[in-house]
Structure 1
Amino acid sequence: MPTPASICLLRTSAIGDVTHVVPLVRTLQAAWPQASLTWIIGKLERKLVGDLPGVNFVTFDKGAGFAGMRAVGDALNGQRFDALLQMQVALRSNLLSLFIKADRRIGYDKARAKDGHGLVIGERIPARTGEHVLDALGSFCEPLGLKQTEVRWDIPIPEEAHAWAAEQLPGEQPTLLVSPTSSHALRNWQAERYAAVMDHAAAKNWRVVLVGGPSAFERSMADAVLAACRHAPIDLTGKDTLKKMMAMLMRAPMLLTPDSGPMHMANAVGCKVLGLHAASNPNRSGPYSDRRWCVDKYNEASLKYLGKPASEIPWGSKIERPGVMDLIGVDEVIDRFEACAEHLGL
């Protein structure tokens, strides 16, 4: 099979999934260092990975609709790629792919395709079930004759971000970062329960830091958590950037979060994740490298809301129902915190 000279990757969002694409980029670069790589990506997501060396990034403005798609086509300036890796199945992304010219158009297998995906691709990745999202994305190199055997991120973090993180988290006191908000509201835990775990960590002499983005929704969740805390944590909600968050995660041994972008950012830099899973399957979308510290109530959620065990529902089904995250108890999260702290020797 000839070595492709040019490859276009289309994965515009979200933060966690974009993080999962980085090992694929590393795999392609290691195998074919001379190949030209172009990545079509969202505006926010580019702020996280847009400085990866050796990759030409083209930003897609999702809010601009059809004009945003046409802008991507204009930016590509008629370039034709040896291969397009169409790694997003949403209708908008399928339409966007029509502005990209490629000799080979590789997409998902039929079980994972939707919204007309099959109409815009010519080849499919191997049909598999039971895969983590990162492994599914990694398999996009297989039709090209490669196999992703190593998972490496090395996402660049600028010195100013490290300096900022060192100012916020000085010294050697162990830090628990708490990122309480997923963009999917039904994946979020109760503010009072976050506060109970944070108070426990503070009583164990951990520095507790609340983090999150600048949106009104995240501010409101942070305020609810702060109101419920007996020991006031440091509140950095809305004060960091994605790169500053990465730098903090490198300094903190542990992150408490639901299934969200920060979960996968943390995993990429080796920060242990106390993941909260009931609405989503941690074996599919949890922290890739180490899920020992997650609380997994996905099977209980399946039994309660769908009337059957998780083993009998389609892989990756979301159980985003009101109250599903209430299946996770405070004591179970504290248990995982203590086990992880012992593992870290803290």
Structure 2
Amino acid sequence: MCNLVPSVRALQQARPDIKITWVIGQAEYNLLAGLEGVTFRVYDKKTGIAGMRALRRQLLEERQGRPFEVLLHMQAALRASILSRFIPAKRRIGFDKARAKDWQGFFVSEHLLPHPNSHVGEGFLDFVRYLGAEPQQRQWSIPLPSEAEKEAAAWVSGKQPYLLLSPCSSNRARNWRNWSAEGYAQMIDHAWQAYGLNTVITGGNSPMEQQMVADIQALCAAPVINAVGKTSLKALLVLIRDAQLVVAPDSGPIHMAVAMGTPPLGLYVTSNPLRTGPWLPAEQLQSWIVNCYPAAVRQFLKREPEQVGWGQRVRDPAAIDLIRVEEVIMRLDHIMSAARATTAFEELKQ
């Protein structure tokens, strides 16, 4: 969801008078609430068709029966497509054929121009380009209320540096992304011994995530702050903003780190980081993440990366074993060395 915010900002820059209504899920709303110039309307997928009808009635009432000028269908999923038909609009714009998954093409009247082998964030910006605006520098500026600042401050002391670890991705069928507790523990101990970094572990409140943090704590000698299932999304953004770096598999906290300007050490093996990884310049992407995806494609799909689809996943739990502790530590060292060099340079200027 963070990757979509720069498209909103680009539209606002191109058309300062634009009025944007964003139909959004509850969790996503909790993350982005307060975004300037945006009216949010929350749809709970548990309400099904009844909820879609209620949303339509609400929108028509608010707009006195007038349809929206343009609907940007930016989520290529069947439920989102069905929901889009309950939103009154004169124009309905969706992805091009290659990116219009789950029959999205049948639910829209206009299609983006093809943009092969692009990052998902660039795919969202393609909607801005289609409307005739050229996006400038990417901007997020996600609001952080004072309550979130106070909540985050309760977890960390002001001057003690820390890394933020979000060890688990969402639990989806045949979608293996999570590294081992043993690997995380060795990385945590190195960060503590080499740089004096505390580790704040965050995540949801699922049994899988609770077990992961318990295993990590049992295996590492360094101090660990267990905030799993105990923070709001806004407070998580604050914790990410103030961390030295964020370590996580292919998951939301990696994109939140980019939005907050914090280095993301992403662990990628079963999904293509050039498509779904942190939205960074190529040099930083190569230096900051662990990218075992090409090796996984060769070993488990028996093909070269350029021979598979841009969004092809590796559906084998053994692929995660390709991530080596030594490479993760090397990326961490690189990020910390660059941070120290920047700090030293800033001190010289004072």
Is the structural similarity TM-score above 0.5? yes
Q: Distance in 1 between matches of 2:36 and 2:315?
A: 37
- Aligned residue among 47, 61, 66 for 1:64: 47
Q: Distance in 2 between matches of 1:166 and 1:81?
A: 42
The alignment status of 1:274 with 2:262, answered yes or no, reads no
Tell me the percent identity.
41
**Match 1:167 to one of 151, 154, 160:** 154
Compared CA separation, residues 95 and 219, structure 1 to 2 (3 A): same
For the aligned residue pairs, the C-alpha RMSD in angstroms reads 1.4
Residue in 2 aligned with 1:285? 276
Whether 1:145 aligns to 2:132 is: yes
Which residue does the alignment assign to 2:348?
none
**Correspondence for 2:244:** 253
8 Å CA contact retained: 1:195, 1:229: yes
What residue in structure 2 maps to residue 35 of structure 1? 18
Residue 52 of structure 1: aligned partner: 35
How many Å apart are 1:214 and its aligned residue?
2.1
Alignment partner, residue 338 of structure 1 = 333
Counterparts of 2:235 and 2:23 in 1: how far apart (Å)?
Answer: 23
User: Contact conserved, 1:107 with 1:121, CA < 8 A, in 2?
Assistant: yes
CA offset digits 1:136-166 (Å, max 9, x no partner) = 1111112211122321000000112122323
| Equivalent residue number for residue 103 of structure 2 | 116
Q: How many angstroms apart in 1 are the aligned matches of 2:79 and 2:255?
A: 24
Going from structure 1 to structure 2, the CA distance change for 1:206 and 1:305 (only over 3 Å counts) comes to same
Counterparts of 2:151 and 2:89, CA distance in 1: 42
Alpha-carbon distance between aligned partners in 2 of 1:220 and 1:73, rounded to the nearest angstrom? 42
- The answer on 1:312 being equivalent to 2:303 is no
Counterpart secondary structure, 2:203: coil
**Secondary structure at 1:84's aligned position in 2?**
strand
Q: Deviations over 1:260-294 (max 9, x none)?
A: 00110111011111100001111111111242210
Distance change >3 Å, CA 198–CA 79, structure 1 → 2: farther
Whether the aligned pair in 2 keeps the contact of 1:280 and 1:320 (CA below 8 Å) is: no
Q: CA deviation at 1:54?
A: 1.1
- String of CA shifts for 1:159-193, please: whole Å, max 9, x gaps: 12122323322232321111001004511111111
Q: Contact conserved, 1:169 with 1:251, CA < 8 A, in 2?
A: no
**Counterpart in the other structure of 1:11:** none
Structure 1 partner of 2:144: 157
Q: CA deviation at 1:79?
A: 3.8
CA contact (8 A) 2:198 2:222 kept: no
Q: In structure 1, give the amino acid aligned to 2:116.
A: T
| SS in structure 1 of the partner of residue 288 of structure 2 | coil
1:226 corresponds to 2:217: yes
Contact 1:181–1:188 (8 Å) recurs in 2: yes
**CA–CA separation in structure 2 for the residues paired with 1:249 and 1:339:** 19
Pairwise CA distance, 1:251? 1.0
Partner in structure 2 of residue 3 of structure 1: none
2:65 matched to 1:84?
Answer: no
Unaligned runs of 5+ in 2: 342-350
Q: Which residue of 1 aligns with 2:2?
A: 19
Deviation at 1:89, TM superposition (A): 1.4
CA distance in 2, matches of 1:115, 1:281: 20
Asked if residue 263 in structure 1 is aligned to residue 254 in structure 2, the reply is yes
- Structure 1 match to 2:58: 75
Q: Does 1:203 align with 2:193?
A: yes
In structure 2, the partner of 1:217 is 208
Task: Determine the structure 1 residue equivalent to 2:165.
Answer: 178
Further displaced range: 168-177 or 234-243: 168-177
Report SS of the residue matched to 2:40.
strand
**One-letter identity of the residue aligned with 1:23:** P
Any unmatched runs of 5+ in structure 1? 1-17
* Contact 2:198/2:223, CA 8 A, preserved across alignment: no
**Alpha-carbon distance in structure 2 between the residues aligned to 1:75 and 1:33:** 25
TM-score (structure 1 length as normaliser): 0.92
**Cα distance, 1:28 vs structure 2:** 0.8
Any idea what SS the aligned residue of 2:266 has? Answer: strand
Partner Cα separation in structure 2 for residue 155 and residue 209 of structure 1: 22
Deviation, 1:234, is: 1.1
1:96 counterpart = 2:83: yes
Preserved contact between residue 58 and residue 75 of structure 1 (Cα < 8 Å):
no
Q: Report the TM-score, using the length of structure 2 for normalisation.
A: 0.91
2:34 maps to amino acid: D
Give SS of 1:203's match: helix
- Give the whole-Å Cα distance in 1 for the aligned partners of 2:80 and 2:57: 16
